[in-house]
Amino acid sequence: MRILSELSVIRRLELLTRGVLNRLLLFLLCLSGVSLSLVWANGGTPRLTNAEAGPYVVSVWTQPDPPQVGQLHVSIAVMKPPTREVILGANVQLFVEPVTHPGQTTSTQARHEAGANALLYHDTIELSQPGRWQISILIDGPEGPGSTAFFLQVEPPGAINWLKLGSAGILFVLAIGWVFWRRRHRRGTGA
């Protein structure tokens, strides 16, 4: 009877350990910075979330992450503040300027048809040099004019996001270790 009781305790510990390891791997996946396109609104990194822009609320996403010299895709949601209803008939302009070279401002028109999500305004802008950039958004819509801005740190071409790469590497090593631990553990218990 005592042997049966000890086996029951061992089995409970096995189940508890398996659950803890699964939760740990899920937690590490969430922390790793490995993002799925579905997590972000249009496959980009949020830069503004529900920011006030005059009579509007604006959310902005950019891609790639980190921003690098070259092309940057910008997606913008323009919404009514109380209901968060998307406004589709606005004129949305982007003004892009390197902070270290004031006066080198480029302006572009964001459009629905420039991206995959027709509820957002999209544009692809050219970032010509590394450094800090200011992106201003001017909106002229049914509720009147509004504006907001944000800053980006633009990396040289080919920059690597070491935090995401390192996190993904750690997650990979832990997953491989978990697989080997499970195999050895199953062989040892005869399961």
pLDDT in tens, 79-99: 998 888 999 889 999 999 999
pLDDT band at 38 (very low <50, low <70, confident <90, very high): very low
> Mean of the per-residue pLDDT values for the chain?
78
**Structure confidence at residue 137 (pLDDT):** 95
User: Does the pLDDT at position 153 exceed 80?
Assistant: yes
**Structure confidence at residue 134 (pLDDT):** 94
Beta bridge partners of 125: 72
Per-residue pLDDT of 141-151, as tens digits, reads 999 999 999 99
Q: Give the pair of three-digit tokens for residue 92.
A: 């949305």
* Cα–Cα distance for residue pair 22/151, rounded to 1 Å: 38
Q: How many CA atoms lie within 13 A of 154 on its CB side?
A: 25
Per-residue pLDDT of 107-117, as tens digits, reads 888 888 777 77
Topology annotation, domain 45-159: Immunoglobulin-like (2.60.40)
Sheet holding 131-141, edge to edge: 106-110, 91-98, 131-141, 144-154
Identify which has the larger pLDDT, 130 or 17. Answer: 130
pLDDT band at 29 (very low <50, low <70, confident <90, very high): low
* Cα–Cα distance for residue pair 67/101, rounded to 1 Å: 18
Kindly report whether the global pTM for this prediction surpasses the value 0.75: no
Identify which has the larger pLDDT, 102 or 22. Answer: 102
Per-residue pLDDT of 40-60, as tens digits, reads 445 588 999 999 999 999 999
